[in-house]
Amino acid sequence: MSTRIESAVIPRSPANRAADALRRFFDSDVYFSFKRSPVVVIAFFVTVLLFAVAALAPWIAPHNTNEVATLNLMDARIPPFGVTDTFGNEGSAKFLLGTDDQGRDMLSAIMFGLRISLGVGFASVILAALLGTALGLLSGYVGGRLDSLIMRIADVQLTFPAILIALMIDGIVGGILPRALHEELKLYVLVLAISASQWVNFARTVRGSTLVEKNKEYVQAARVIGVRPLLIMVRHVLPNVTGPVLVIGTLSLAIAILTEATLSFLGVGVPVTHPSLGTLIRIGQQYLFSGEWWMTIFPSVALVILVLAVNLLGDWLRDALNPKLR
Amino acid sequence: MLAFIVQRLLQAIVVMMVVGIISFSLFQFVGDPVNNMLGPEGTTEQREKLREKLGLNDAIPIQFIRYAGNALKGEFGLSYRMGKPVDELLVERLPATIELVAVSAVIALVIGVPMGVYTGLRRDSWLSRVFLTVSLVGISLPTFVIGILMILVFGVWLGWLPTFGRGGVVDIGGWQTSLLTLQGWSHIIMPAITLALFQLTLIMRLVRAEMLEVLRTDYIKFARARGLKSRDVNFGHALKNTLVPVITITGLQIGSLLAFSIITETVFAWPGMGLLFLQGIQFVDIPVMSSYLVLMALFFVLINLAVDLLYYAVDPRLRAEHTGGAAH
């Protein structure tokens, strides 16, 4: 969809071009189907809101929870505003959603957690998309042994659930790295593990479309006039096979966020110094039995809303961009 | 048929080989077993002796063959953390995981299929809408959040169900089961539902989609036109034809139930293999990680194989494909 809009532009002033693109977007079927479904509109605004909160957390959060020096243990385990816990403690307006065992304001911790969760999610999906697209393109265009090799690896990997792959890679790489380096690189290892568990979806789709594009006239023409294969792949085939990548990317984002949360919940994800939503839930779980539910429930709710919104957007995008369903 | 089975078997063997190589190479890259066994006090001479004894000086391919041979016998060495043979640890933990997964699979099927049939047949009733909405939420809820919510509601607030462990186990010929006592069931019910919920929604949506598809076909219309009872049409003709994908997905989902049992076992402190593996990862306990990887791969390969064969048995069209008959 978007590729058609961008590629059909006649050189004009940038402002005009932007206005054109905008007008075309508001006229498009995609925008129409967006407008028609209130659930998707809500999901969109919720997603934007959560992204904004994550991006602006250091400026809008009531309390910088990553600065350990500002924490006060006297503030630990305070219930949310308007709630009285089983020990008779009352919540205060200073900590709307209560505090955790270290005296961190839950609301701020969730904002910062959202930042980590989304950051890791985005980084993983982008890496997986790059890797998957490159391998899929190569596999489809070059064919032969390279194709069989890449696709067999994909097959073997698909035999296992993504979460197991991510857990395995995280564990193995964590084991190889020396302890000291481990804490520092943990975030990167996590991103690597999650993206390694997701590249297959991208690769398979891109390979499929590449196989179709490869035999079209424009590619043959390019080949006849002697354009190098790499250039054909990148300049000619690539722009025509990236359409579905956006859809898979959105759906993968939800899965990546969930995978990160799960790994962090299991205690093998992000380092404790930078708690993500999953880490917060894990920490809070220990206090569940004493009735201090807010430490678990609020981060869980944030996580579920985030994943639900992104999932809804992804589902809609898949249907909206699918010409068969129109 | 034979060619098909042979092809699948070959594929399975290749997968097992690859996984074997990966889990073998874990030992190569991660840590030094000699250091682990001798500690920092060992002299160079002792080290060399131990290396020779463990066969670490042999060529890598020979080491791999030895590893594979041991793996076939089910020997994976000693756990670094527990100092016990890994196969013993796994066998000890196996019943807990298998029982959890089995109960979950049954729950998912027994509830998921009827829900799917109902929402497929009565697509506009309010109950169908409720089912579908709930299933959407079910898909977006991570397993561990479901578990935590259940613990909070049924364990902490209502106090109806125990929140961790298996309760008492009964030993039957070496198989420790918790399914024979009421107490055991009270322990398994929450983890099993937690684990089943995602598969349940998946099965329900799948059955619904398939039912909708099949109900549109001509042979269903024809069956109705012939005046067959709608119960016969719905269950005898329609449901039967939806079963192929349901079998596949359910079969494959047993694999992911095994994987997701890691999470459920962590939430409910369920003493299964998943918990063992997770602790293995946290302590970089290579023998445990490596053997779990091989065991999981074996499960997955067997499940895939069984699903393929079952597919073949259920769908006559697949058998016809070989003789050139039109499929689908």
Per-residue pLDDT averaged across A297-305, rounded?
88
| pLDDT at position A129 | 93
Find the residue in B nearest to A267 (Cα). Answer: B282
Judged by average pLDDT, the poorest of A168-182, A268-282, B272-286 is: A168-182
| pLDDT at position A3 | 47
Per-residue pLDDT averaged across A3-14, rounded?
55
The beta-carbon neighbor of B293 closest among A168, A281, A307 is: A168
Give residue A58's identity as a one-letter amino acid code.
P
Decide: helix, strand or coil at residue A140: helix
Find the residue in B nearest to A265 (Cα). Answer: B144
Chain A partners within 8 Å of B144 (Cβ): 261-262, 265, 281
The burial class, CB within 10 Å (0-12 / 13-18 / 19+), for B173 is exposed
CB contact under 8 A, B289 and A261: no
Task: Encode burial over A307-324: b for 16+ CB neighbours within 10 A, e otherwise.
Answer: bbbbbbbbbbbbebbeee
CA distances from B106 to A319, B199, B274, B303 (A): 33, 10, 20, 16
B269 touches chain A (CB under 8 A): no
Task: Enter the tokens of residue A242.
Answer: 């990236």
Adjacent-strand bridge partners of B171 = B176
B250 touches chain A (CB under 8 A): no
Measured in angstroms, the CA of B236 and the nearest CA of chain A are apart by 31
| pLDDT at position A125 | 94
Per-residue pLDDT of B128-168, as tens digits, reads 888 887 787 777 788 888 888 888 888 777 878 777 777 77
Phi (first) and psi of residue A90, to 5 degrees:
-105, 145
CB contact under 8 A, A174 and B284: yes
Residue B113 has pLDDT above 70, yes or no: yes
Per-residue pLDDT of B285-301, as tens digits, reads 778 888 888 888 888 88
The beta-carbon neighbor of B281 closest among A160, A171, A265 is: A171
Q: Pick the residue of B24, B140, B292 with the most A CBs within 10 A to test the interface with A by mutation.
A: B140
DSSP string, A163-229: HHHHHHHHHHHHHHS-HHHHHHHHHHHHHHHHHHTTHHHHHHHHHHHHHHHHTSHHHHHHHHTT--H
Phi (first) and psi of residue B39, to 5 degrees:
80, 180
| pLDDT at position B315 | 67
CA distances from B225 to B122, B212, B229, B230, B242 (A): 20, 18, 10, 11, 21
Cβ atoms of residues B207 and B117 within 8 Å: yes
The larger pLDDT score, comparing residue B240 to residue A7, is at B240
A 10 A CB-CB count for B178 gives 22
Give this prediction's pTM: 0.80
Residue A226 has pLDDT above 60, yes or no: yes
Q: What's the mean pLDDT when you consider all of chain B?
A: 78
Give residue A257's identity as a one-letter amino acid code.
I
Per-residue pLDDT of B163-183, as tens digits, reads 777 777 777 766 777 776 777
- Residues in Cβ contact with B323 at an 8 Å cutoff, skipping those fewer than 6 apart: none
Rounded Cα gap, residues A251 and A184, in angstroms: 29
Rounded Cα gap, residues B215 and B232, in angstroms: 13
| pLDDT at position B202 | 85
Residue A155 has pLDDT above 70, yes or no: yes
The larger pLDDT score, comparing residue B100 to residue A84, is at B100
Chain A partners within 8 Å of B256 (Cβ): 161
Rounded Cα gap, residues A170 and B116, in angstroms: 37
pLDDT classification of A134: cutoffs 50, 70, 90: very high
| pLDDT at position A1 | 44
Rounded Cα gap, residues B247 and B256, in angstroms: 14
Chain A partners within 8 Å of B255 (Cβ): 159-161
Cβ atoms of residues B250 and B105 within 8 Å: yes
Per-residue pLDDT averaged across A101-119, rounded?
83
Phi (first) and psi of residue B176, to 5 degrees:
-85, 110
Judged by average pLDDT, the poorest of B45-59, B97-111, B192-206, B249-263 is: B45-59
| pLDDT at position A95 | 67
DSSP string, B99-155: HHHHHHHHHHHHHHHHHHHHHHHSTTSHHHHHHHHHHHHHHHS-HHHHHHHHIIIII
Cβ atoms of residues B302 and B9 within 8 Å: no
B323 touches chain A (CB under 8 A): no
Per-residue pLDDT averaged across A123-128, rounded?
94
Q: Pick the residue of B18, B129, B137, B145 with the most A CBs within 10 A to test the interface with A by mutation.
A: B145
Rounded Cα gap, residues A54 and B157, in angstroms: 33
Per-residue pLDDT of A24-65, as tens digits, reads 777 777 777 777 777 788 888 888 888 888 888 778 777 776
pLDDT classification of B272: cutoffs 50, 70, 90: confident
| pLDDT at position B327 | 39
pLDDT classification of B324: cutoffs 50, 70, 90: very low
- Residues in Cβ contact with B279 at an 8 Å cutoff, skipping those fewer than 6 apart: B81, B285, B288
From start to end of B139-283, where are the E strands? 170-172, 175-177
CA distances from B325 to B311, B313, B328 (A): 17, 16, 10
